[in-house]
Structure 1
Amino acid sequence: MDGTRGQIGGCRGAWVALLVLVLGGCAGEQTGAVLAPAAVRVPVEAPRVTGRDRAGDADHAKLVAAFGGEARAPAVTRLLTEITDRLVRASDRPDQAYAVTLLDSPVVNAFALPNGRLYVTRGLVALASDSSEVAAVLAHEMAHVTLNHANARSEMELRSALVSRVVADVLNDPDTGAQLKNQSRFALARFSREQELEADAAGVRTLAGAGYDPFAAGRFLTALNRATGLKAGTGTAAEPDMLATHPGTAERVVLVTRAARRSGAPGLGTDDRTRYLAAVDGLAYGDNPRDGAVRGRRFLHPGLGIAFEVPDGFTLENTRSAVLGTTGEGSRRLLFDQIEARDGQSLDAVLKATWNDPVDPAASETRELNGHPAAFTLSRGKDWTFRLAAIRLGDTTYRMIMAAKGAVDPDPAFRRWTASLNAVAPDEAAALRPTRLQVVQAASTNPDELVRRMAVPDRALDRFLVLNGLERGASLVPGRGYKIVVE
């Protein structure tokens, strides 16, 4: 959760969607200010094309800033540039110019702009196991550029919008206009999915032509699927929305593997693993403490000067717009963010203004919480029960929401969570260190020794295996390098 100024919207439906859907494997992509709400969208973990032409340098700067700025990792940036140059020479458009930017974001993402700008997050670089896997992602994004996908999608969107508006307004038939608009959503989704599959196939051809292992595309998509499952707390990736712009990962793995077989047998291309590990050794991993950090069940934000702890069973995720939490089975969710409060506006009025559904007056109260003014209320929906609080610390107002599936009131857990919100101690803030990747040599075939060194909040073995592209029960190769997370 960063400190970008913005206005929190008051639509409960968007926040319910965020709580119920986003935590199934979607992040929102990142001091002392109000945050804009996270939009419900295609999971940021999924590599995607932006679908819009943002050719100007000003737009490039805004995009980079939205992802936390450029990451300071010269060795990684050099390697990404060399991989891109090698792919360009093997592509269908060797005359196309590209520039790759490494973004300082922990989410796993990559995307391309029509003008040839490529973007890769350090989260994606950390997840990949070798150069060929990153090359597979870059080749996919380059295919979006050479195949003119973004411009084709924009043209289709404009045409669909124009037809719907003409029918609704000019022909005075709003019902048919609305129907056409709904049909265009499905057509655009189908069009986008077809683009992704086309980019996958073209990317594998380029990958093989550049001498990289063409099977790396399938390996990375598998790692992406496993990482998404870990993030969701389920161990398996959530099913994709039918309108998502990407086909299901399992489908893509099958298709890119089929395309790789047409390019040659496994083992023919290079993966350049040793050099890749040397480049990522020391790369920042996970949250940047300046934007807040999750340490187990505790969230700390030195810039905002706050900290809180969630009840047992919750897994936390720090996104650009909010801190999100979910239990493993998904029956409880929570959200923490900042909200705008006008001068003189009471906290209960602030809370109601940011929540459109009815609240229970009998359950509403204002009182002090750890010496800070606070307002609390209850809202019952059809499928979820919500506890809400607005708490003012200094000049800043925070909102805390906990949702429980069904009619169960989450009040006991909610009270423990809200009571934990307080100023972060200076010594605790000073002790907060960023985590980073470290490449270490395996001393034996057993991964336990390396797993014990992982500075992660939970599921250390699973996270070690995903980071290194290993399956459960796999034996390590003594003397070979593997990635671990350290402080």
Structure 2
Amino acid sequence: MAPWAVALSASLLLGACVADQSVATVQPAVVRVPVEAPRTTGRERVADADHLKLVASFGGEARAPNVTRMLTEVTDRLVKASDRPDQTYVVTLLDSPVVNAFALPNGRLYVTRGLVALASDTSEVAAVLAHEMAHVTLNHATARSELELRSALVSRVVSDVLNDPDTGAQLKNQSRFALARFSREQELEADATGVRTLAKAGYDPFAAGRFLTALNRSTGLKANGGSEPDMLATHPGTVERITQVTRAARRIGAPGIGTDDRAAYLAAVDGLAYGDNPRDGAVRGHRFIHPSLGIAFEVPDGFTLENTRSAVLGTTADGNRRLLFDQIEAKDGQPLDAVLKASWNDAFDPAGFETREVGGHPAAFALSRGKEWTFRLAAIRIGDSTYRLIMAAKGATDPDPDFRRWTASLGAIAPQEAILRPLRLQVVQATSPSAEELARRMAVPDRALERFLVLNGLERGAPLVPGRSYKIVTE
């Protein structure tokens, strides 16, 4: 959670929680353009502004020279094999753990480090780049009215979840940058073109199907159904697409043709940052730590946490309990109970209001009951910052016991947590056929074996090859 990223927090909560509640007016996403950004004119200025906004909204550029060099080399190889070898492309590696890739009509390609981490070899990354290049050469982007950042998120949360199409339309118009979905026909056309380009460049054409499969498996591991706009928000990932790209590859040849350049890929990604950037806080098991804000908290057993740039979200495995933590603005001298009321439009139960201290910090508590969910809310002021904590339980069950344990845990970080070490990919060699052996070395909060298998494109039960290299996540 970025220290200043609060714009979409209310919509994120309800995207995870409930369909019958309303919230305070949700502000559109604010993208900060660096003051040192060059000032140009005309169409060039618009293009530069587009680039800066997109990069800023995805955490900036990732510092990974080996990966950037690999992406550039792959792109150059694909361009020569494409239907438009005269088209110029510039690829940017984004410092975001979400799995996404997209292109602007001017030939700028964007790939997140989350996507690079998920891919198993160079041919899978090449398949993604070839697909995005096809959108450019086929003029798909210009067929859309305007690129607007996070429109899929806004429309899904406000229109679908809140059943409020008017507000959804308003927010979509206010948000000037969103990555709208391509149509089904455009996606399939880009898939077919991308596979042909992939094969002509000498890569394994079956890599497209492998990556789409990995994408679906990775999304299944996410705690909150995809609260950040990953590729399933901007590129519908379906069984149909996997079937189509596999069929297209088979028309080219049998499995085994082309190269996957797996060794070169693993050499490039060894040491790549994985997961949350420590500047935005990080999840470590049941604990969330934010060194920049100087705070940390723990959630009760059974909750899985996911950190986004706007909020920390949590859910239980059955989805019957959800939580949200974010930072909200409070006017000077504004009572904390008034802060809660201003951030929540639904009715409060008068008996639920309470003011007291939490760990020596002033706090206000409230209760809100909907048709299908019961909410406990708190606003806690630590120093000059005000934090909001919301826990929801499905039905009439009051989540107060778990909520009190959670709020009581919020406080200053421990000295040993002041410097948060980022997680990174490490390439190691298997010493036995057991996937569990390497999975035990994974520094992930949960489901280590499943995450190891997905990261390496392996099916459950598949034996490892002793001496072969695989990716794990370490501190």
Same fold, TM-score > 0.5, yes or no: yes
CA contact (8 A) 2:60 2:95 kept: yes
CA contact (8 A) 1:284 1:435 kept: yes
State the distance in 2 between where 1:251 and 1:54 align: 40
| 2:210 counterpart of 1:212 | no
After superposition, the Cα gap between the structure-2 partners of 1:36 and 1:452, relative to the gap in structure 1 and judged at 3 Å, is farther
* Aligned equivalent of 1:97, options 73, 88, 91: 88
Offset of 1:456 from its aligned partner? 1.0
| 2:318 counterpart of 1:320 | no
* Aligned equivalent of 1:200, options 191, 208, 218: 191
Aligned counterpart, 1:3: 3
CA contact (8 A) 1:38 1:322 kept: no
Aligned counterpart, 1:406: 395
CA contact (8 A) 2:133 2:194 kept: yes
* Aligned equivalent of 1:152, options 143, 147, 154: 143
Greater shift in the superposed pair: 126-135 or 363-372: 363-372
Q: What letter matches 2:442 in structure 1?
A: M
| 2:416 counterpart of 1:418 | no
* Aligned equivalent of 2:291, options 302, 307, 310: 302
CA contact (8 A) 2:224 2:313 kept: no
Greater shift in the superposed pair: 280-289 or 300-309: 280-289
After superposition, the Cα gap between the structure-2 partners of 1:457 and 1:37, relative to the gap in structure 1 and judged at 3 Å, is farther
Aligned counterpart, 2:56: 65
Aligned counterpart, 1:362: 351
Aligned counterpart, 2:176: none
Q: What letter matches 2:470 in structure 1?
A: Y
State the distance in 2 between where 1:83 and 1:352 align: 53
Offset of 1:258 from its aligned partner? 1.1
| 2:442 counterpart of 1:447 | no
State the distance in 1 between where 2:423 and 2:252 align: 39
CA contact (8 A) 2:101 2:111 kept: yes
| 2:460 counterpart of 1:461 | no
Aligned counterpart, 2:76: 85
Q: What letter matches 1:135 in structure 2?
A: A
| 2:230 counterpart of 1:232 | no
Runs of 4+ in 1 over 6 A off after TM superposition: 35-39, 188-191
1:415-447 C-alpha deviation (Å, 9 max, x unpaired)? 1101100011222223x2111011011112112
Greater shift in the superposed pair: 73-82 or 196-205: 196-205
Offset of 1:232 from its aligned partner? 3.0
State the distance in 1 between where 2:139 and 2:196 align: 17
CA contact (8 A) 2:7 2:29 kept: no
Aligned counterpart, 1:56: 47
Aligned counterpart, 2:35: none
CA contact (8 A) 1:55 1:115 kept: no
* Aligned equivalent of 1:352, options 319, 338, 341: 341
Offset of 1:389 from its aligned partner? 0.5
| 2:422 counterpart of 1:434 | yes
After superposition, the Cα gap between the structure-2 partners of 1:440 and 1:6, relative to the gap in structure 1 and judged at 3 Å, is closer
RMSD: 2.7
CA contact (8 A) 1:340 1:397 kept: yes
Secondary structure at the residue paired with 1:341? coil
CA contact (8 A) 1:233 1:328 kept: no
Offset of 1:78 from its aligned partner? 0.6
State the distance in 2 between where 1:156 and 1:324 align: 27
Q: What letter matches 2:467 in structure 1?
A: G
Aligned counterpart, 1:471: 459
After superposition, the Cα gap between the structure-2 partners of 1:470 and 1:244, relative to the gap in structure 1 and judged at 3 Å, is closer
CA contact (8 A) 1:55 1:114 kept: no
CA contact (8 A) 1:374 1:391 kept: yes
1:368-405 C-alpha deviation (Å, 9 max, x unpaired)? 11111111111111111111100000110000011111
CA contact (8 A) 2:223 2:314 kept: no
Aligned counterpart, 1:17: 15
CA contact (8 A) 1:315 1:327 kept: yes
* Aligned equivalent of 2:130, options 113, 136, 139: 139
Secondary structure at the residue paired with 2:211? helix
Q: What letter matches 1:446 in structure 2?
A: S
State the distance in 1 between where 2:147 and 2:290 align: 43
Secondary structure at the residue paired with 1:126? helix
CA contact (8 A) 2:18 2:372 kept: no
Offset of 1:150 from its aligned partner? 1.3
Secondary structure at the residue paired with 1:231? coil
CA contact (8 A) 2:3 2:327 kept: no
State the distance in 2 between where 1:55 and 1:270 align: 39
Offset of 1:367 from its aligned partner? 1.0
CA contact (8 A) 1:293 1:318 kept: yes
1:114-133 C-alpha deviation (Å, 9 max, x unpaired)? 10000101110000000000
State the distance in 1 between where 2:56 and 2:264 align: 29
After superposition, the Cα gap between the structure-2 partners of 1:5 and 1:222, relative to the gap in structure 1 and judged at 3 Å, is closer
1:79-98 C-alpha deviation (Å, 9 max, x unpaired)? 10010011111111111100
CA contact (8 A) 1:55 1:113 kept: no
What TM-score do the two structures reach when normalised by structure 2? 0.84
State the distance in 2 between where 1:54 and 1:273 align: 39
What residue ranges of structure 2 are gaps of 5+ in the alignment? 20-25, 31-43, 149-165, 170-178
1:451-484 C-alpha deviation (Å, 9 max, x unpaired)? 1211111111111101100001001111110001
State the distance in 2 between where 1:215 and 1:465 align: 19
CA contact (8 A) 2:59 2:95 kept: yes
Greater shift in the superposed pair: 436-445 or 193-202: 193-202
CA contact (8 A) 1:2 1:292 kept: yes
Q: What letter matches 1:153 in structure 2?
A: R
Offset of 1:156 from its aligned partner? 12
Aligned counterpart, 1:390: 379
Secondary structure at the residue paired with 1:101? strand
* Aligned equivalent of 1:483, options 449, 460, 471: 471
Aligned counterpart, 1:129: 120
State the distance in 2 between where 1:307 and 1:85 align: 45
Percent of aligned positions that are identical: 79
State the distance in 1 between where 2:18 and 2:443 align: 29
After superposition, the Cα gap between the structure-2 partners of 1:399 and 1:87, relative to the gap in structure 1 and judged at 3 Å, is same
What TM-score do the two structures reach when normalised by structure 1? 0.82
Aligned counterpart, 1:75: 66
Aligned counterpart, 1:343: 332
State the distance in 2 between where 1:337 and 1:105 align: 19
Aligned counterpart, 2:23: none
CA contact (8 A) 1:19 1:335 kept: no
Secondary structure at the residue paired with 2:144? helix
State the distance in 1 between where 2:388 and 2:250 align: 52
1:189-247 C-alpha deviation (Å, 9 max, x unpaired)? 9962221121111111111111111110110011111111111379xx99x9xx96544
Greater shift in the superposed pair: 225-234 or 117-126: 225-234
Q: What letter matches 2:4 in structure 1?
A: T
